[in-house]
Amino acid sequence: MDLLNTLVEKGLRRELPTREEALAVLATPDDDLLDVVAAAGKVRRQWFGRRVKLNYLVNLKSGLCPEDCSYCSQRLGSKAEILKYTWLKPDEASQAAAAGVAGGAKRVCLVASGRGPTDRDVDRVSKTIEAIKEQNEDVEVCACLGLLSGGQAERLRAAGADAYNHNLNTSEGTYGDITTTHTYADRVDTVHQAQAAGLSACSGLIAGMGESDDDLVDVVFSLRELDPDSVPVNFLIPFEGTPLAKEWNLTPQRALRILAMVRFVCPDVEVRLAGGREVHLRSMQPLALHLANSIFLGDYLTSEGQAGQTDLDMIADAGFEVEGTDTTTLPEHRAEALGGGCGSHSGGCAPCGDSEPAAEVPTADVPGARTDLVAVRRRGAGTDLAPNA
């Protein structure tokens, strides 16, 4: 296909596709899906070889969030029967992180529900970062604490944080439809604060809440402009007890097309296969490794993922290899631009949106939707049970 040849050539040159080309990827028929995956896979291999970076989530504080994000199981008014607990102590968080590192994780992501951290919260997380680094000097630590205020990013960086995650989640045009307690501009500002402090920016999206193809392209093009080092691609986990509980809009094929579009638009960025992959990609997860070069290992914030050993087996069986701590994640030109920080060593959250689905998007009656695969996390951080790693 001329389209795919053009997109491969642009990806190898780090050239931005046109909006029309990005939309065309999302519109390709299922019969051409393997061609799309193969083309995007060439771009992935150019910049990341066959390496897969493993990341591990630690939910420092679960539930009881004052924000009203329609997609989130931890939102204000959520009736989802998730774990609810206040801050883990630094040693508890460090023990939880150690399980992920033992499973092969190169990065530990420390997440806390809420609008944003207080200065006391930053102190608490700083001590947690120090505790993790004492036990695992080479591990990367990414914080995801919500909206930042002045000086907080710098304090996290001084404590040893390598990265900060704050997802855009959806397009600017639809953001107000899914959250009223903060704005899209607030999210962009937080990513800029992290970058200004020398933290590696991690910002992504999550699909599957009925958004149009235009919305998906809008948010991915906005991410390209924001220029984070890693882009997590989440797929909505429709939790019972949230406003989007009935939004089953994804097929495995559509999820793969979305990942391919992200790779073409962000060719040299760490694209992370994140929340919802087990629910929506299911047996087609190995194909997604040809598009994404990074995944979360084990469980998520409030939902359970597949067994950590199953993740490792999947990577090996698909012909990929787990990236070690002595390997640079980012391509040389990006690692140098970052100044030798995160990704150059030698959530979160679910998607947002409750707008009406566009005509070409599958409806909530998608054949084969696996509602039974949504499992609330009952192990690991905040419990007495061993974590999944």
Per-residue confidence band for 357, with pLDDT thresholds at 50, 70 and 90: very low
In whole numbers, what is the pLDDT of the chain averaged over residues? Answer: 88
Could you tell me if residue 344 is inside a domain?
yes
Is residue 383 assigned to a domain?
no
d(C-alpha 374, C-alpha 388), whole Å: 16
Q: Is the pLDDT of residue 250 over 90?
A: yes
Residue 191 phi/psi, 5° resolution?
-65, -40
**Which of 97-111, 151-165, 307-321, 350-364 bottoms out in mean pLDDT, i.e. has the lowest?**
350-364
Question: How many CB atoms are closer than 10 A to CB 100?
Answer: 29
CA distance 146 to 112: 8
Do 382 and 59 touch, CB atoms closer than 8 A? Answer: yes
Residue 179 resides in a domain: yes
Q: What is the mean pLDDT of residues 62-91?
A: 76
In this prediction, residue 355 has a pLDDT band, given cuts at 50, 70 and 90, of very low
Q: Are 274 and 232 in contact (CB under 8 A)?
A: yes
| Residue 217 placed within a domain | yes
What is the band of 295 on the pLDDT scale with cuts at 50, 70, 90?
very high
Q: Does the structure show a pLDDT above 60 at 255?
A: yes
CA atoms within 13 A on the CB side of 135: 20
Residue 376 pLDDT = 72
Active site residues: 65, 69, 72, 109, 142, 202, 272
In this structure, is the dihedral angle defined by the CA atoms of residues 88, 89, 92 and 98, taken in order, positive or negative? positive
pLDDT at position 301 is 77
Per-residue confidence (pLDDT) for residue 356, from 0 to 100: 34
Position 80 scores a pLDDT of 66
Higher pLDDT, 385 or 221: 221
Mean pLDDT of the 148-174 span: 95
12 inside domain = no
Residue 293: band (very low, low, confident or very high) from pLDDT cuts 50, 70, 90 = very high
pLDDT of residue 353: 34
Domain count of the chain? 1
**Statement: residue 11 has pLDDT above 90:** yes
pLDDT grade for 361, boundaries at 50, 70 and 90: very low
pLDDT grade, residue 362 (50/70/90)?
very low
Least confident of 189-198, 212-221, 234-243, 356-365: 356-365
Mean pLDDT score, 186-193:
95
- Residue 285 Cα to chain centre, angstroms: 15
Question: How far apart, in whole angstroms, are the C-alpha atoms of residue 86 and residue 175?
Answer: 28
Which 3 state secondary structure label does DSSP give 282? helix
Does the residue 290 lie in any domain? yes
User: Average of pLDDT values for 363-369?
Assistant: 60
pLDDT 10s digits, 37-76: 999 999 999 999 999 999 999 999 887 777 777 777 766 5
Query: 144 in a domain, yes or no?
Result: yes
Considering only residues 340 and 56, tell me which one the structure prediction assigns the higher pLDDT.
56
Domain extent, residue 59, equals 18-373
Full-model pTM: 0.89
* CATH code of the domain containing 150: 3.20.20.70
Residues 6+ apart with CB under 8 A from 377: 59, 82, 83, 299, 300, 301, 302, 303, 304
The answer to whether position 188 is within a domain reads yes
